[in-house]
Structure 1
Amino acid sequence: MKLFSKDETFFDHFRGLAVHISEAATLLRTLFENPANAAQISVQIKKVETDGDAIVHLINQRIDTSFVTPLDREDIHMLAKRLDNVIDLINGASRRVVMFRVTAPRDGGVQMADVLVRAGKEILQAVGNISKRQRMMEHGRAVKMLEEEGDVLYAQAVGALFEKDEPAIEVLKWKEIFDALEEAIDECEDVSNTLESIALKNS
């Protein structure tokens, strides 16, 4: 049985944002594999981020104009904000690579970006199954496990910065880049928590 029978447009918009997360994460992984091309790839990520902002704008307009919404208005707003935050943080990580003039890949960067790609796929599946609580929760659990994997990779990557006698500037640059990646992965878990809370409220 479907939990939600009202206006489906919101769910189409959520799926749209989730697709944008996957696109941005895939581009980010490519950027970390080929940081020499970061300037061009970051432009593509910025476009995905701008498109995501436009979807959030549509969601907010619809919240204001819809007489009946399929979920609590604050839940719709929160989920849209969380999904958009992931895209913003991915954009922030790509901007740092460009800003710090990074030209060579480094252990940890590609792996953490890959966690984001996999988390993006789980979020897309969870949002697509928002009316099927059990399946949505399974994807949510997968996101939590990916967040833990991201934490381990972050600790290894940052630890490795201090193992050798690295120039201080390299340590500073990469520490900030790894922080940005970890923040984006953490935000994926926040999306998952928001979805879980919505599922519990509407079950």
Structure 2
Amino acid sequence: MLFGKLLPREGNFFEMFNQHATHIVEAAQAFAQLVANYADLELREKYNQEVDTAERAADRVTAEVNRLIHTTFITPIDREQIHSLINTMDDVADLIQDSAETMALYDVRHMTVEITRLTELSVKCCERLKDVVGMLGKIGDQKTAEAALKTCEEIDKLESDADRVMRTAMSKLFREEPDVREVIKLKAIYELLETITDKCEDVANEIEGIVLENA
């Protein structure tokens, strides 16, 4: 499919995918800074606000894409694929914001090694997601299509790494944490952070399908 020729100027979906992916990375990096500076209340609030700002920007892109699906005569890929991809991407941004909010709501007092490691893996997943989204407009080129599929495999591996970290974290938590309230809090945080990588894998699966159908 000749994406460049079929893409109407007013329906630049690939550019909007790129914008959304950029906001996802902004949210993930701000969240990582929140975790790294958690002991500093001012910095914690600053990075919390940055997460919120990035998530709201992602929401606006999602709304615009969903509007354009109904008003653009010719779309570069199937409308259902566009709708599913942008909304799955938006789930990633939502989960990052949910993680930051849950830490505040549950009054988590300190960061654990496991939170830091899961956060690092989430950021890497989001960065690779941005990379592969940036390839979508050129998947008619065989080398780009192959690079996109390889990046999807890398996201899958990062998600598997996060699974292992979470299993170890849960085992340690239930063996070593005597405070039931802390167990409940940290369990919720671990699960949310691992779900970010799950959702990135869902995006990769969506993109893999698009590549295989359209390359």
- Normalising by the residue count of structure 2, what TM-score does the alignment of the two structures yield? 0.90
After TM superposition, give the deviation of residue 39 of structure 1 in Å.
Answer: 3.3
Within the candidate set 103, 116, 128, 1:110 is matched to 116
Query: Where does 1:156-171 land on structure 2 (aligned, <5 Å)?
Result: 156-171=168-183
User: Is 1:94 aligned with 2:100?
Assistant: yes
- 2:3 corresponds in structure 1 to 4
- C-alpha separation in 1, matches of 2:68 and 2:190: 36
RMSD (CA atoms): 1.4
Q: Is the 8 A contact 2:35 2:111 kept in 1?
A: yes
Which of 138, 143, 146 pairs up with 2:155?
143
Mapped to 2, the partners of 1:65 and 1:162 lie a distance apart of: 52
Give the SS at the match of 1:162: helix
Partner Cα separation in structure 2 for residue 78 and residue 165 of structure 1:
40
1:185 is the counterpart of 2:197: yes
* Structure 1 residue identity aligned to 2:89: L
Q: Deviations over 1:74-117 (max 9, x none)?
A: 00001100111100001001111111112321121111111111
Structure-2 residue corresponding to 1:77: 83
1:65 aligns with 2:64: no
What's the CA shift string for 1:127-171, capped at 9, x where partnerless?
Answer: 111123111101100000000000011111111112224200000
**Cα distance in structure 2, aligned partners of 1:126 and 1:26:** 18
Which amino acid is 1:181 matched to?
L
* Dislocated runs of 4+, deviation >4 Å: none
- Quick one: which amino acid aligns to residue 24 of structure 1? A
Structure-1-length-normalised TM-score: 0.95
| Cα pair 2:177 2:183 within 8 Å, conserved | no
What corresponds to 1:195 in structure 2? Answer: 207
Counterpart-to-counterpart distance in 2, 1:32 and 1:60:
33
Q: Which runs of 5+ in 1 are unaligned?
A: none
Q: Please give the alpha-carbon distance, in whole angstroms, between the structure 1 residues aligned to 2:160 and 2:92.
A: 17
